[in-house]
Protein backbone atom coordinates (compact mmCIF):
# COMPACT_ATOMS: atom_id res chain seq x y z
CA UNK A 1 0.00 0.00 0.00
CA UNK A 2 1.51 3.29 -1.12
CA UNK A 3 0.74 6.53 0.72
CA UNK A 4 3.32 8.47 -1.30
CA UNK A 5 2.01 11.01 -3.78
CA UNK A 6 3.05 10.52 -7.40
CA UNK A 7 2.66 12.52 -10.58
CA UNK A 8 0.96 10.66 -13.38
CA UNK A 9 0.36 11.81 -16.94
CA UNK A 10 -2.99 11.42 -18.71
CA UNK A 11 -2.08 9.77 -22.02
CA UNK A 12 -5.55 8.93 -23.32
CA UNK A 13 -9.20 9.88 -22.67
CA UNK A 14 -12.16 8.08 -24.26
CA UNK A 15 -15.90 8.61 -23.78
CA UNK A 16 -17.35 5.23 -22.79
CA UNK A 17 -20.97 6.44 -22.42
CA UNK A 18 -22.67 9.84 -22.50
CA UNK A 19 -21.57 10.61 -18.94
CA UNK A 20 -18.67 8.21 -18.37
CA UNK A 21 -15.05 8.50 -19.43
CA UNK A 22 -12.04 6.23 -19.42
CA UNK A 23 -8.72 7.79 -18.41
CA UNK A 24 -5.36 6.10 -19.03
CA UNK A 25 -2.65 7.37 -16.68
CA UNK A 26 1.05 6.76 -17.15
CA UNK A 27 3.47 6.94 -14.21
CA UNK A 28 6.78 8.07 -15.76
CA UNK A 29 8.74 7.68 -12.53
CA UNK A 30 7.96 3.95 -12.33
CA UNK A 31 9.07 1.20 -14.72
CA UNK A 32 5.91 -0.69 -13.73
CA UNK A 33 2.84 0.28 -11.73
CA UNK A 34 2.14 -2.75 -9.56
CA UNK A 35 -1.16 -3.31 -7.78
CA UNK A 36 -3.59 -6.04 -6.80
CA UNK A 37 -6.82 -6.26 -8.81
CA UNK A 38 -9.56 -4.54 -6.81
CA UNK A 39 -7.36 -1.79 -5.38
CA UNK A 40 -7.89 1.95 -5.89
CA UNK A 41 -5.96 5.18 -6.28
CA UNK A 42 -6.74 8.57 -4.76
CA UNK A 43 -6.51 11.69 -6.91
CA UNK A 44 -5.57 15.11 -5.49
CA UNK A 45 -7.46 17.77 -7.48
CA UNK A 46 -7.26 21.58 -7.25
CA UNK A 47 -10.89 21.97 -6.20
CA UNK A 48 -10.58 23.09 -2.55
CA UNK A 49 -8.15 24.72 -0.14
CA UNK A 50 -8.35 21.85 2.37
CA UNK A 51 -6.43 18.75 1.25
CA UNK A 52 -9.01 16.19 2.38
CA UNK A 53 -11.70 17.99 0.36
CA UNK A 54 -9.58 17.67 -2.79
CA UNK A 55 -9.22 13.90 -2.64
CA UNK A 56 -11.34 11.45 -4.61
CA UNK A 57 -10.75 7.69 -4.80
CA UNK A 58 -11.37 5.52 -7.85
CA UNK A 59 -11.00 1.77 -8.38
CA UNK A 60 -8.47 0.75 -11.01
CA UNK A 61 -10.34 -0.61 -14.05
CA UNK A 62 -7.32 -2.18 -15.75
CA UNK A 63 -5.30 -5.18 -14.60
CA UNK A 64 -1.60 -5.55 -13.71
CA UNK A 65 0.23 -6.06 -17.01
CA UNK A 66 3.80 -5.09 -16.13
CA UNK A 67 3.45 -1.60 -17.64
CA UNK A 68 3.44 1.78 -15.89
CA UNK A 69 -0.05 2.65 -17.18
CA UNK A 70 -3.38 2.13 -15.41
CA UNK A 71 -6.97 2.92 -16.35
CA UNK A 72 -9.80 4.60 -14.44
CA UNK A 73 -13.45 4.78 -15.50
CA UNK A 74 -15.24 7.80 -14.03
CA UNK A 75 -18.86 8.95 -14.15
CA UNK A 76 -19.74 12.65 -14.19
CA UNK A 77 -21.71 13.33 -11.03
CA UNK A 78 -24.17 16.20 -11.17
CA UNK A 79 -22.78 18.92 -8.92
CA UNK A 80 -19.68 16.86 -8.14
CA UNK A 81 -16.65 19.15 -7.87
CA UNK A 82 -14.10 16.41 -8.56
CA UNK A 83 -15.69 14.87 -11.63
CA UNK A 84 -16.67 18.29 -13.02
CA UNK A 85 -13.00 19.30 -12.87
CA UNK A 86 -11.87 16.05 -14.46
CA UNK A 87 -14.38 16.29 -17.31
CA UNK A 88 -14.00 20.03 -17.98
CA UNK A 89 -10.33 20.73 -17.31
CA UNK A 90 -8.22 17.61 -17.73
CA UNK A 91 -6.87 16.94 -21.23
CA UNK A 92 -4.54 14.35 -22.71
CA UNK A 93 -0.97 15.22 -21.74
CA UNK A 94 -1.95 16.83 -18.42
CA UNK A 95 -0.41 15.76 -15.09
CA UNK A 96 -2.48 14.16 -12.33
CA UNK A 97 -1.37 13.85 -8.71
CA UNK A 98 -2.32 10.54 -7.11
CA UNK A 99 -1.40 8.10 -4.38
CA UNK A 100 -1.86 4.39 -4.25
CA UNK A 101 -2.50 1.64 -4.86
CA UNK A 102 -4.54 1.13 -1.71
CA UNK A 103 -7.32 -1.09 -0.45
CA UNK A 104 -8.08 -4.65 0.63
CA UNK A 105 -10.97 -5.32 -1.75
CA UNK A 106 -8.98 -8.08 -3.42
CA UNK A 107 -9.41 -11.66 -4.59
CA UNK A 108 -9.43 -14.57 -2.13
CA UNK A 109 -6.54 -17.03 -2.15
CA UNK A 110 -7.23 -19.68 -3.21
CA UNK A 111 -10.40 -19.12 -5.22
CA UNK A 112 -11.99 -22.29 -3.91
CA UNK A 113 -15.67 -21.45 -4.37
CA UNK A 114 -17.96 -19.58 -6.76
CA UNK A 115 -17.46 -15.83 -7.09
CA UNK A 116 -20.38 -13.44 -7.35
CA UNK A 117 -19.29 -9.99 -8.55
CA UNK A 118 -22.32 -7.74 -7.97
CA UNK A 119 -22.11 -4.10 -9.03
CA UNK A 120 -23.80 -0.96 -10.27
CA UNK A 121 -22.40 1.79 -12.50
CA UNK A 122 -18.65 2.35 -12.38
CA UNK A 123 -18.54 -0.25 -9.59
CA UNK A 124 -17.78 -2.64 -12.43
CA UNK A 125 -14.17 -1.35 -12.52
CA UNK A 126 -12.54 -3.61 -9.89
CA UNK A 127 -14.32 -6.68 -11.26
CA UNK A 128 -13.07 -6.06 -14.79
CA UNK A 129 -9.56 -5.95 -13.27
CA UNK A 130 -10.07 -9.12 -11.23
CA UNK A 131 -11.62 -11.08 -14.07
CA UNK A 132 -8.89 -10.37 -16.61
CA UNK A 133 -6.23 -11.10 -13.99
CA UNK A 134 -7.73 -14.52 -13.20
CA UNK A 135 -8.00 -15.46 -16.87
CA UNK A 136 -4.64 -14.02 -17.96
CA UNK A 137 -2.80 -16.03 -15.31
CA UNK A 138 -4.91 -19.20 -15.56
CA UNK A 139 -5.67 -18.94 -11.86
CA UNK A 140 -7.72 -21.92 -10.69
CA UNK A 141 -11.28 -20.82 -10.05
CA UNK A 142 -14.86 -22.02 -9.86
CA UNK A 143 -17.83 -20.29 -11.52
CA UNK A 144 -17.67 -16.49 -11.82
CA UNK A 145 -20.89 -14.47 -12.12
CA UNK A 146 -20.61 -10.78 -13.00
CA UNK A 147 -24.00 -9.23 -12.25
CA UNK A 148 -24.02 -5.63 -13.45
CA UNK A 149 -26.89 -3.25 -12.82
CA UNK A 150 -27.33 -0.09 -14.86
CA UNK A 151 -30.23 2.02 -16.05
CA UNK A 152 -30.25 1.69 -19.82
CA UNK A 153 -28.49 -0.17 -22.62
CA UNK A 154 -26.47 2.97 -23.34
CA UNK A 155 -25.05 2.85 -19.77
CA UNK A 156 -23.50 -0.58 -20.24
CA UNK A 157 -19.80 -0.10 -19.42
CA UNK A 158 -17.40 -2.52 -21.19
CA UNK A 159 -20.46 -4.43 -22.42
CA UNK A 160 -19.09 -5.74 -25.72
CA UNK A 161 -15.76 -6.75 -24.15
CA UNK A 162 -17.39 -8.66 -21.29
CA UNK A 163 -19.96 -10.34 -23.50
CA UNK A 164 -17.22 -11.62 -25.82
CA UNK A 165 -15.24 -12.86 -22.82
CA UNK A 166 -18.24 -14.80 -21.51
CA UNK A 167 -18.62 -16.49 -24.90
CA UNK A 168 -15.00 -17.70 -24.76
CA UNK A 169 -14.83 -18.73 -21.09
CA UNK A 170 -17.40 -21.28 -19.98
CA UNK A 171 -16.82 -20.67 -16.25
CA UNK A 172 -17.68 -16.96 -16.60
CA UNK A 173 -21.21 -15.61 -16.90
CA UNK A 174 -21.81 -11.93 -17.72
CA UNK A 175 -25.27 -10.90 -16.51
CA UNK A 176 -26.18 -7.25 -17.11
CA UNK A 177 -29.62 -6.00 -16.06
CA UNK A 178 -31.35 -2.71 -16.84
CA UNK A 179 -33.59 -0.93 -14.36
CA UNK A 180 -35.06 1.73 -16.67
CA UNK A 181 -35.07 0.11 -20.08
CA UNK A 182 -38.37 -0.19 -21.96
CA UNK A 183 -39.23 -2.84 -24.58
CA UNK A 184 -39.46 -0.42 -27.51
CA UNK A 185 -35.75 0.43 -27.11
CA UNK A 186 -34.40 -3.06 -27.84
CA UNK A 187 -35.12 -5.94 -30.18
CA UNK A 188 -33.44 -8.80 -28.34
CA UNK A 189 -33.83 -10.57 -25.04
CA UNK A 190 -32.30 -8.67 -22.14
CA UNK A 191 -32.71 -8.74 -18.39
CA UNK A 192 -34.62 -5.89 -16.82
CA UNK A 193 -34.95 -4.95 -13.19
CA UNK A 194 -32.34 -5.02 -10.44
CA UNK A 195 -29.36 -7.21 -9.60
CA UNK A 196 -30.90 -8.96 -6.60
CA UNK A 197 -33.29 -11.29 -8.41
CA UNK A 198 -30.42 -12.59 -10.57
CA UNK A 199 -28.08 -13.81 -7.82
CA UNK A 200 -31.02 -15.15 -5.81
CA UNK A 201 -32.19 -17.19 -8.80
CA UNK A 202 -28.69 -18.61 -9.42
CA UNK A 203 -28.19 -19.50 -5.77
CA UNK A 204 -31.58 -21.14 -5.34
CA UNK A 205 -31.09 -23.03 -8.58
CA UNK A 206 -27.74 -24.45 -7.45
CA UNK A 207 -28.82 -25.28 -3.91
CA UNK A 208 -28.42 -28.96 -3.21
CA UNK A 209 -31.62 -30.28 -1.72
CA UNK A 210 -31.39 -32.94 0.96
CA UNK A 211 -33.54 -34.38 3.70
CA UNK A 212 -32.96 -31.21 5.65
CA UNK A 213 -32.93 -27.57 4.54
CA UNK A 214 -31.35 -26.74 1.18
CA UNK A 215 -27.57 -26.71 1.37
CA UNK A 216 -26.25 -23.54 -0.22
CA UNK A 217 -23.32 -23.92 -2.59
CA UNK A 218 -20.19 -22.25 -1.12
CA UNK A 219 -19.58 -18.78 -2.57
CA UNK A 220 -17.85 -15.45 -2.04
CA UNK A 221 -19.81 -12.27 -2.70
CA UNK A 222 -18.09 -9.06 -3.81
CA UNK A 223 -20.29 -5.96 -3.84
CA UNK A 224 -19.29 -2.64 -5.41
CA UNK A 225 -21.48 0.35 -6.19
CA UNK A 226 -24.05 2.57 -4.57
CA UNK A 227 -24.84 2.18 -0.87
CA UNK A 228 -28.53 1.29 -1.34
CA UNK A 229 -27.69 -1.67 -3.57
CA UNK A 230 -24.97 -2.88 -1.23
CA UNK A 231 -27.14 -2.62 1.90
CA UNK A 232 -29.95 -4.57 0.26
CA UNK A 233 -27.62 -7.22 -1.17
CA UNK A 234 -25.90 -7.76 2.18
CA UNK A 235 -29.24 -8.46 3.83
CA UNK A 236 -30.58 -10.68 1.04
CA UNK A 237 -27.40 -12.77 0.85
CA UNK A 238 -27.47 -13.38 4.59
CA UNK A 239 -31.18 -14.20 4.41
CA UNK A 240 -30.28 -16.90 1.89
CA UNK A 241 -28.13 -18.51 4.58
CA UNK A 242 -24.62 -17.18 3.89
CA UNK A 243 -22.30 -15.95 6.62
CA UNK A 244 -21.47 -12.25 6.74
CA UNK A 245 -17.79 -13.17 6.38
CA UNK A 246 -18.40 -14.36 2.79
CA UNK A 247 -19.42 -10.80 1.79
CA UNK A 248 -16.82 -8.20 0.74
CA UNK A 249 -17.77 -4.70 -0.24
CA UNK A 250 -16.56 -1.41 -1.67
CA UNK A 251 -18.87 1.60 -1.40
CA UNK A 252 -19.18 4.27 -4.09
CA UNK A 253 -20.47 7.72 -3.38
Indicate the range of 23-37, 152-166, 171-185 predicted with least confidence.
Answer: 171-185
Q: How far apart are CA 167 and CA 136, in angstroms?
A: 16
Q: How far apart are CA 251 and CA 253, in angstroms?
A: 7
Report if residue 109 sits inside a domain. no
- Residue 127 confidence class, pLDDT cut points 50, 70, 90: very high
Q: Would the pLDDT of 221 be above 60?
A: yes
Query: Is 200 in contact with 219 (CB distance < 8 Å)?
Result: no
> How many structural domains comprise the chain?
2
Residue 251: what pLDDT? 78
Q: Would the pLDDT of 56 be above 90?
A: yes
Length of the chain: 253
Residue 12: what pLDDT? 98
Report if residue 147 sits inside a domain. yes
- Residue 82 confidence class, pLDDT cut points 50, 70, 90: very high
User: What is the overall mean pLDDT for the chain?
Assistant: 91
Q: Could you tell me which residue, 176 or 194, shows the higher pLDDT?
A: 176
Residue 179: what pLDDT? 75
Report if residue 208 sits inside a domain. yes
Phi and psi at residue 155, to the nearest 5°: -95, 5
Q: How far apart are CA 11 and CA 26, in angstroms?
A: 7
Contacting residues for 62 by C-beta, under 8 A, at least 6 apart: 69, 70, 71, 128, 129
120, 235: one domain:
yes
Report if residue 29 sits inside a domain. yes
C-beta neighbour count of 10 within 10 angstroms: 18
Query: Is 111 in contact with 138 (CB distance < 8 Å)?
Result: no
Domain CATH code at residue 29:
2.40.30.10
Q: Could you tell me which residue, 181 or 196, shows the higher pLDDT?
A: 196
Domain span holding position 14: 5-102
215, 179: one domain:
yes
Amino acid sequence: MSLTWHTGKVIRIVNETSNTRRYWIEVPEMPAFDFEPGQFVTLDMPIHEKPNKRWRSYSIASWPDGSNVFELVIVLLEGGAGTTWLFNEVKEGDPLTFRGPQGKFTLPEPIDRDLFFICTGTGIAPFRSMLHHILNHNITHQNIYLIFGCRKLTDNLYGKELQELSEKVTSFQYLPTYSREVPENYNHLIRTGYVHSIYEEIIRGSAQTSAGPAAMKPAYFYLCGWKNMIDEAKQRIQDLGYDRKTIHLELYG
